[in-house]
Chain A
Amino acid sequence: MDGPRSAVAGTALVIAVIAIALSLLTLGSAAPPPRPAPATIDLSLLITSSGAVGGLAETHLYNPQLLVARRGDIVRLRVMNQSFFRHGIEIADYGVRTEELNGGQSEDLTFTADRSGIFQFRCYTPYDPAAATCALDHARMIGHLVVIKTGAR
Chain B
Amino acid sequence: MGQRGNGVVYFALVIAVIALLLSVLVYARRPTPLATIPGRPPATLKLSMVVATFTGQGMAAHRWYPTMLVAREGDTIDLAVANPDTVNHQFELTGYNLRTKILMPGGTDSLRFVADRTGVFAFQCVLPYDPAKHNCTPDHELMRGYLIVTE
Whether A104 and B57, one on each chain, are in contact in the complex, defined by CB atoms closer than 8 angstroms, is yes
Cβ contacts B133-151/A at 8 Å (1 or 0 each): 0000000001011101011
Q: Once bound together, how far apart are the Cα atoms of A35 and B21, in whole Å?
A: 31
Residues of A within 8 A of B (CB): 2, 5, 8-9, 11-13, 15-16, 18-20, 22-23, 25-26, 29-30, 32-33, 36, 39, 41-44, 46, 48-49, 63-64, 66-70, 73, 78, 80-84, 103-104, 148, 150-151, 153
Q: Could you tell me which residues of chain B, from 45 to 86, have a CB within 8 Å of some CB in chain A?
A: 52, 54-59, 61, 63, 65-68, 70
Whether A48 and B54, one on each chain, are in contact in the complex, defined by CB atoms closer than 8 angstroms, is yes
Shortest beta-carbon distance from A22 to chain B in Å? 4
Q: Once bound together, how far apart are the Cα atoms of A16 and B44, in whole Å?
A: 53
Shortest beta-carbon distance from A131 to chain B in Å? 18
Cβ contacts B25-59/A at 8 Å (1 or 0 each): 01100110110000000000000000010111111
Report A-chain residues with C-beta under 8 Å of the C-beta of B6.
5
A-B contact count (CB 8 A): 137
Whether B16 and A64, one on each chain, are in contact in the complex, defined by CB atoms closer than 8 angstroms, is no
Shortest beta-carbon distance from A122 to chain B in Å? 18
Whether A16 and B16, one on each chain, are in contact in the complex, defined by CB atoms closer than 8 angstroms, is yes
Q: Nearest CB to that of B63 among chain A residues?
A: A63
Contact of A23 among B23, B61, B63, B122 (CB under 8 A): B23
Shortest beta-carbon distance from B140 to chain A in Å? 12
Q: A22-B23, A30-B30, A70-B150 are in contact. Are A15 and B5 (CB under 8 A)?
A: no
Report A-chain residues with C-beta under 8 Å of the C-beta of B66.
64, 66
